[in-house]
Amino acid sequence: MVSNKRLVINTAWCKGCGICAAFCPKGALEIVDEKSRRKEGTDCILCGMCELRCPDYAIYIEESEEEAGDQWVRSY
Amino acid sequence: MGKVVLMQGNEACVEGALAAGMRLYAGYPITPSTEIAELSALRLPQVGGKFIQMEDEIASIACAIGASVAGVKSMTATSGPGFSLKQENLGYAVLAEIPLVVVDVQRMGPSTGMPTSPSQGDMMMARWGTHGDHPVIAICPSSVKEVYDLTVRAFNLSEKYRTPVLLMMDEIIGHLREGMELPEPGSLKIVDRPTVNHPDSKRLPYRMKPGQLVPAMAPFGKGQRYNITGLIHDESGFPTNSTDEAEAMMSRLMHKISDNYDDIKDVVTENLEDADIAIFCYGGTYRAAKTAMEVAREKGYKVGIFRPRTVWPFPEEELREASKKLKRIIVAEHNYGQMLLEVQRVAGRDCEIGFVGKWNGGVNKPIRILERIEEG
Amino acid sequence: MVNTADVRPKTKQMSNLVYKYMRPEHLPHIWCPGCGNGIIMRDVAQAIENLGLSRNNTIIVSGIGCSSRAAGYLDFNTIHTTHGRAIAFATGIKLANPTLEVIVIAGDGDISAIGGNHLIHAARRNIGITVVVMNNNIYGMTGGQYSPTTPKGAFGTTAPYGNIDRSFDIAGLAYGAGASFAARGSAYHVQQTINIIQEGIRHKGFSLIDVASVCPTYYGRKNKKGSAVDMLTWQKENMIPVEKAEKMTRQELKGKLVLGIINQTQYKEFTFAYEEMIRRLFEEREKDE
């Protein structure tokens, strides 16, 4: 998948409430050790519903100039 | 010479406020201050200003603070019950450093008390009414002319020191009608707060430049974008839990008033040069005290008057100095003894202190003060 | 001491919206995990972005309580006032300068208990401010006491045997008091809520948006409502769009919440009417002279 969008999870701000994972239409997120992360083998469609409902602004879609390529999920 | 007019104290308050630049009044009807609201409603739109009758006393002071935050000089007026209700937001204006004039036309209390009867029973509430330690500027006029002049001064002080100023009138002065000379247009000195007019200014909103009395204040929408809070805050305007920063802030709040005491103080004395007795009075009680002094002088008593027009901060040095030459100070006020406590605290030990109070809705007549002088 | 401009991280690590409209140096916020307030605060920022409002011309006013912290996080002219009085402060700001966009963010206790009087009178007066209520049905900041929107029978630390008070419908209360715009959103229904807030800000007159928040920490725990996810799921399943609700009976609507714009009417806005009066006075005076 070639895209200039990527999903970003800021684990420093994530409080692990689980809202993003519960309402992700693709079931592409999970909570591990009280932090949100991408679930292996699932398909994120970059719809941004997680960003809209994250009470802590810890997950969002980032658009960048360069193609995101394989690095489309970034976490810190 | 300015124009001479017949005016009521409450009316003079509004005219003085307009001259000082008041452009928003928020209030709620209450005797004996209502004329201030009525005349504000009439006069403000004539000069492009705004009047609003709010739903209650608390909303009135909150609205006036809001207007001041937006850069408009504002005022609210009330009487005892309303003054009680305004106390929380008064403290807010002290802490957040919002210029504002609050008028209390005192009536007899406690509670609903005697709404049309004179009193000076809110003097200690003016000092300590809002919770927490805080500085206060409170002013007491004794004539219609003084109401006008001191309302202007109240606005000027509030702008200069970014603090609410209390104009402590009483029913006698509020409802008194007498002739007064209006100042010549343009003759008044009007002070405006220092402002910041760059929306994206990077300065810390509560940091002072050297030589400043207070940090400049950005009007919302026109100046620097910043945060205001009633929480103890640091120079950035955001809350802090640091005891050091809390101390720095509280200390600056206290010192901006105490360090500038000479500018804020206002004491009027009469015949103190040769006096061994002084009548301590303020506001409406001055009028009886003056007559008592004059009659006593005719009878050969060496009586003078010590009258603070700025009652808070209390003129400690001035009274202490004066008391050294006095045998007696007679405190005359319309309450059970409020400023009396301050006089007792401050006056020298060799000076005897007498009291003529009134707490039944009546007034201190000159004869009562005279009797106390003659008791010796 | 922190200067907003100096500590902005070089790499943002946050969305453009958050970077543009919030004060990142004060984030992450103090709200509990799963608190709906964070979602609602983002809705407000998104509505402002969609409308293209100027940051310098927009004023955020808050009262006291969990909701009130929003004023500190949002990068506008912000004022965190006293408990219940946000609308009264906002009234002064708007009247002093009607060109400002004044938005009040308040809690349910803040706006409908201690500040109830200001709410109904601002609604009656139709002053052009927008009130967004973060309604979590409880006093959160003080640890879970029942509020005017705590349902009858629900528990709070001050309702240990169940709340015997009846509860307020804040949107309905505002409508009853004459609000020219009264609506309800929810933490779950983000898109709809953003649209409603946008409409509320655009509306010329008093607008109130009662947004159902979730408080998993106090309300949820005390009342066995489960996690934040469970509470948002309740909103998903029990909030009825206003168009649909109009066709339903009272019985059918029992235990449900209506979502959407409940009332929108055009009346003359207060500060506009006041300035009209000033203009009239000036014109009359010119004629006389």
Number of structural domains, chain C? Answer: 1
Position C10, amino acid: K
Position B2 scores a pLDDT of 86
Give the H/E segment covering residue B213. Answer: none
Task: Report residue B315 as tokens.
Answer: 């003129």
Local structure of B357: helix, strand or coil:
strand
Confidence of residue C80 (pLDDT cuts 50, 70, 90): very high
Fold (topology level) of B268-375: Rossmann fold (3.40.50)
pLDDT per residue rounded down to tens, chain B (376 residues): 789 999 999 999 999 999 999 999 999 999 999 999 999 999 999 999 999 999 999 999 999 999 999 999 999 999 999 999 999 999 999 999 999 999 999 999 999 999 999 999 999 999 999 999 999 999 999 999 999 999 999 999 999 999 999 999 999 999 999 999 999 988 999 999 999 888 777 889 999 888 899 999 999 999 899 999 999 999 999 999 999 999 999 999 999 999 999 999 999 999 999 999 999 999 999 999 999 999 999 999 999 999 999 999 999 999 999 999 999 999 999 999 999 999 999 998 899 999 999 999 999 999 999 999 999 7
Question: Pick from B244, B251, B319: which is nearest to B281 by CA?
Answer: B319
3-class secondary-structure state, position A67 = coil
C289 touches chain B (CB under 8 A): no
Rounded CA gap, C108 and C138, in Å?
Answer: 8
Q: Are B66 and C91 in contact (CB under 8 A)?
A: yes
Give the closest residue to C184 by CA, choosing from C122, C262, C247, C238: C262
Angle at B289 between CA B118 and CA B291, to 5 degrees: 115
Domain containing A26 equals 5-75
Mutation for testing the B interface, residue in C60, C74, C77 having most B CBs under 10 Å: C77
| C52: in domain | yes
| Interchain CB distance below 8 Å, C1 and B71 | no
Domain enclosing residue C31, as ranges? 16-288
For position C6, what pLDDT does the model report? 42
CA-wise closest residue to C110 among C74, C91, C79, C138: C138
The CATH number of the domain holding residue C269 is 3.40.50.970
Convert the pLDDT of each residue in C266-282 to its tens digit.
999 999 999 999 999 99
C interface mutation test: which of B238, B242, B244, B252 has the most C CBs within 10 A? B238
Q: Of A16, A57, A76, which is closest to C15 when you measure between CB atoms? A: A57
* Pairing mode of beta strands B164-170, B100-108: parallel
pLDDT band at A72 (very low <50, low <70, confident <90, very high): low
Which chain C residue has its CA at the smallest distance from A53's CA?
C39
Per the structure, the count of domains in chain A is 1
Which of the four pLDDT bands, split at 50, 70 and 90, describes residue A76? low
* C237 lies in some domain: yes
* Average pLDDT rounded to a whole number, residues C88-114: 98
Please say if the pLDDT value at position C2 is more than 80.
no
Nearest CA in chain C to A54: C39
Decide if B65 touches C, using CB distance below 8 A. yes
Chain C, window 70-109: residues with a beta carbon less than 8 angstroms from a chain B beta carbon: 71-72, 75-82, 85, 88-97, 99-100
- Structure confidence at residue C5 (pLDDT): 40
Confidence at residue C1, expressed as pLDDT on a 0 to 100 scale: 38
Q: What residue ranges do the domains of chain B occupy? A: 4-181, 268-375
User: Residue A56: its chain C contacts at CB < 8 A?
Assistant: 28-29, 33, 38
Q: Which residues, in sequence order, are CB contacts of C51 under 8 Å at separation 6+?
A: C198, C201, C202
The answer to whether C209 and C130 have CB atoms below 8 angstroms apart is: yes
Question: Is residue C115 situated within a structural domain?
Answer: yes
Residue A73 has pLDDT above 70, yes or no: no
C9 falls in which pLDDT band (50, 70, 90)? very low
| Closest partner CB to B62 (pick from C5, C59, C89) | C89
Chains in contact with C, counting 3 or more C-beta pairs less than 8 Å apart as contact:
A, B
Q: Is residue C258 within 8 Å of residue C239, measured between CB atoms?
A: yes
Kindly identify which residue of chain C lies nearest to residue A15, measuring between CA atoms: C33
Q: Which residues of C touch A22 (CB under 8 A)?
A: 229, 232-233
pTM score, whole prediction: 0.96
* Contact at CB, C29 and A16, closer than 8 angstroms: no
Instruction: Output the six-digit token pair for B252.
Output: 């600056």
The answer to whether residue C274 neighbours chain B at the CB level (below 8 Å) is yes
Q: Do C79 and B68 touch (CB under 8 A)?
A: no
| Residue-wise pLDDT tens digits, A42-56 | 889 999 999 999 999
List residues in chain A touching C: CB distance below 8 A.
8, 10, 12-13, 15-19, 22-23, 51-58, 60-62, 76
Strand residue runs (E) in B110-156: 114-118, 137-139
Architecture, CATH, for domain B4-181: 3-Layer(aba) Sandwich (3.40)
Q: Is the predicted pLDDT of residue A4 greater than 90, yes or no? A: no
Q: In the beta sheet, which residues pair with residue C74? A: C22
Is the Cβ pair A15, C228 closer than 8 Å?
Answer: no
pLDDT computed for residue A71 by the predictor: 47
Contacts of B48 in chain C (CB under 8 A): 278, 282
Q: Do chains B and A touch (3 or more CB pairs under 8 A)?
A: no
Question: What's the whole-number average pLDDT of chain C?
Answer: 95
- Residue that wins the pLDDT comparison between C7 and C33: C33
For tokens 């640890």, the residue is C143
Q: Is B339 helix (H, G, I), strand (E, B) or coil?
A: helix
Outline where DSSP puts E strands in B45-204. 50-53, 74-78, 100-108, 114-118, 137-139, 164-170, 177-181
Residue C48 lies in a domain: yes
* Residue C34, min C-alpha distance to chain A (Å): 5
